[in-house]
Amino acid sequence: MIGNERQYRITRARAEEFDKELSALKSETRHADPTWQKIQLDAVSAQLSDLRDELREYEAIRKRGVEAIEVNSFEELPRALIKGRIAAGITQKELAERLGMKEQQIQRYEATDYSSASLDRIREVIAGLDLRLGKGVLLPKEHVSLKTLIRRTGQLGLPHDFVKHRLLPVGGHRDIEGLNEEEEETIVLRTASRIERIYQVPTSLLLGDGQLGFPSAVVSEAHFKTPGRADRNKVGAYAVYAHYLSLLLLECMPHRSLKDVPTDPTRIYQEVLRISRHFSLAACLEYVWDLGIPVLPLREKGGFHGACWSLGGRGVIAIKQNTESEGRWIVDLFHELKHIGDSPKDADSAWIEEFDRSGKSDSTNEEQEVTDFAVDAVLGGDAEGLAQECARESAGRVQRLKSVVQKVAQRHNVRPDVLANYLAHRLEEEGQDWWGAAQNLQENSIDPWLVARDFLVEKIDWSALNPMDLDLLMQALA
């Protein structure tokens, strides 16, 4: 962001240089390599566009005046203070003189987005600029601590580690003892602003003494059902968070429409193999993303393992797994894909599920059918036939089953880990525990979460997000 006239002149000069460079590149057509020329043109065009956006923003702020500056959350306040000074036509030196400070101090505040400024100092700057704050901006008169914030978020059902790593601003999760009072207050208010944005819990209530709970509107917006054996508060906390991030992904994919999800698991298996001869998680993710369905990988413990939303005819899948079993991730992925495929195109719907070790979720007939579909999609559409083949070749001897599973899987070009889990579940229903052997057949050579995260990073348009939402999504993927 341009903060003063000197930076404005420098940025304008740089834009003129890039404009000349772009014109020169466009004229080099005779002996240029077309591919390399396009790469250069795209790079210079992107930089020129960014510089022009900064210039337009600065010019617009100067014209509109302070009364046009809107501040609706504490997270927006630091940049609003800079914009307010520019809109008032005040230099950093003039603002410093108004406040009885040195110009270098204002420069440091603005360079660090006022992260080191106390609340008293921020109030002085607001008054000095005659800046009006929205009702959503709370500047407490008394010191607010991280300990109080953590205690209050715990009452909402937000685990301490979740708040620390996903909701506190980047760099804000140092030990409380390592923060000075000004830093602590700033972090508390920025975190409260994020919580208000996601959960619609007012900052004044969060940092007060009143009874806390999610507003019914935010819960119904995520419209989830709670798994029977799950902690409702924890599921609610994670579900609303995942729903919010899922909406951000859709913002980053504005031009992608949902394709029809195949109803035949064999077709899914065949289409994935067209992407890669090896039925890998990467190939499955490529297939699902190509359908227009973004996949959000999360790495928190508890709450739920899988979720999906069908929103306005567009689908989003969230997988919240800590397992390193690639096969489990793939089955969970296709489980949620089946739910999206079954959703009416003209109605919003959602599923929040917790899977057991076999990949099963709730014991309802509907969920059983969805899981069977997912397993069939991985096992070539014939999970039952492969199970019978394994039974015949092992001649009923469980001790031979491990080697038989590997042979049968190789013969039919299917994943041995998913076939092993399917057989273990079948044997469990017959009173036999074969999970230890199935576990030994799990493919753990990659980090599934990292594979899914890298896909998301490459696929979405990050520029579609505002700074706060960008920060929240980046922290979710950290």
Three-state SS sequence of 91-155:
CHHHHHHHHCCCHHHHHHHHHCCCCCCCHHHHHHHHHHHCCCCCCCCCCCCCCCCHHHHHHHHHH
Residues 317 and 294 in one domain: yes
> What is the torsional sign of CA 31, 34, 36, 39?
positive
Q: Which of 154, 182, 213 corresponds to the end of one domain? A: 213
Are residues 197 and 53 part of one domain? no
Categorize the per-residue pLDDT at 37 as very low, low, confident or very high, splitting at 50, 70 and 90: confident
Confidence band for 454, pLDDT divided at 50, 70 and 90 = very high
Do 120 and 224 lie in a common domain?
no
- Write down the pLDDT at residue 359: 47
Residue 5 confidence (pLDDT) above 70: yes
**Is 354 part of any domain?**
yes
The percentage of the chain sitting over the pLDDT mark of 70, rounded to a whole number, equals 85
The answer to the question of residue 109 being in a domain is yes
Range of the domain at 203: 146-213
- The β-bridge partners of 298 are 320
Q: What is the pLDDT of residue 172?
A: 47
Higher pLDDT, 368 or 36: 368
Give the start-end residues of each E strand in 211-303: 295-298
Q: Is residue 258 domain-resident?
A: yes
More confident residue, 238 or 388: 388
Query: Is there a single domain that holds both residue 229 and residue 370?
Result: yes
Q: Comparing 477 with 214, which gets the higher pLDDT?
A: 477
Compute how many other C-beta atoms are within 10 angstroms of the C-beta atom of residue 34.
8
How high is the pLDDT of residue 299? Answer: 85
201 & 315 share domain: no
Is residue 170 located within the same domain as residue 230?
Answer: no
Task: Examine the domain organization and report whether 326 and 458 are in the same domain.
Answer: yes
In the predicted model, is pLDDT for residue 94 greater than 50?
yes
Q: What is the CATH number of the domain that holds 122?
A: 1.10.260.40
Mean pLDDT along residues 70-90: 80
Q: What is the DSSP letter of 1?
A: -
pLDDT for 401? 93
Looking at residue 178, its pLDDT comes to 67
Helices 401-412 and 416-429 pack at an angle, to 10 degrees, of 130
- For residue 337, which of 246, 400, 276, 268 has the smallest C-alpha distance? 268
Q: Which amino acid is at 249?
A: L
Query: What integer is the mean pLDDT of 326-343?
Result: 92
C-alpha span between 142 and 22 (Å, rounded): 54
Q: What is the pLDDT of residue 43?
A: 82
In the block, tokens 């609610």 appear at: 236
User: Which of 388, 366, 386 minimizes the C-alpha distance to 378?
Assistant: 386
245 and 269 share a domain? yes
Asked if pLDDT for residue 446 goes beyond 80, the answer is yes
Residue entry with tokens 């709370």: 138
Over range 161-179, report the average pLDDT. Answer: 71
3-state SS assignment for residue 413: coil
> Quick one: average pLDDT of 263-272?
95
Q: Whose CA is closest to 450, among 355, 341, 266, 321?
A: 321
Interior angle at CA 327, CA 287 and CA 244, nearest 5: 60
Instruction: Give the residue from 25, 44, 64 where a domain finishes.
Output: 64
Reported as a single tens digit per residue, the pLDDT across 395-413 is 888 889 999 999 999 999 9
- Reported confidence tier of residue 296, pLDDT bands at 50, 70, 90: very high
Query: Do 234 and 354 sit in the same domain of this protein?
Result: yes
Whether 285 and 347 map to the same domain: the answer is yes
Are residues 253 and 350 located together in one domain of the fold? Answer: yes
Strands 314-320 and 349-353: unpaired
Average pLDDT, the chain: 83
What confidence score (pLDDT) does residue 32 get? Answer: 60
Is position 113 within any domain?
Answer: yes
- Are residue 79 and residue 184 in the same domain, yes or no? no
Does 390 map to a domain? no
- Tell me what the mean pLDDT of segment 25-31 comes to: 69
Domain count for the chain: 4
189 inside domain:
yes
Position 218 scores a pLDDT of 63
Range 369-392 average pLDDT: 94
User: Quick one: pLDDT band at residue 42, thresholds 50, 70, 90?
Assistant: confident
Q: Lowest mean pLDDT: which of 169-183, 186-200, 256-270?
A: 169-183
> What SS3 string covers 143-206?
CCCHHHHHHHHHHHCCCHHHHHHHHCCCCCCCCHHHCCHHHHHHHHHHHHHHHHHHHCCCHHHH
Confidence class for position 416, pLDDT limits 50, 70, 90:
very high
Domain presence at residue 441: no
Within 10 A of 434 (CB to CB), how many other CB atoms are there?
A: 20
Higher pLDDT, 140 or 300: 300
Q: Is residue 428 part of a domain?
A: no
pTM: 0.75
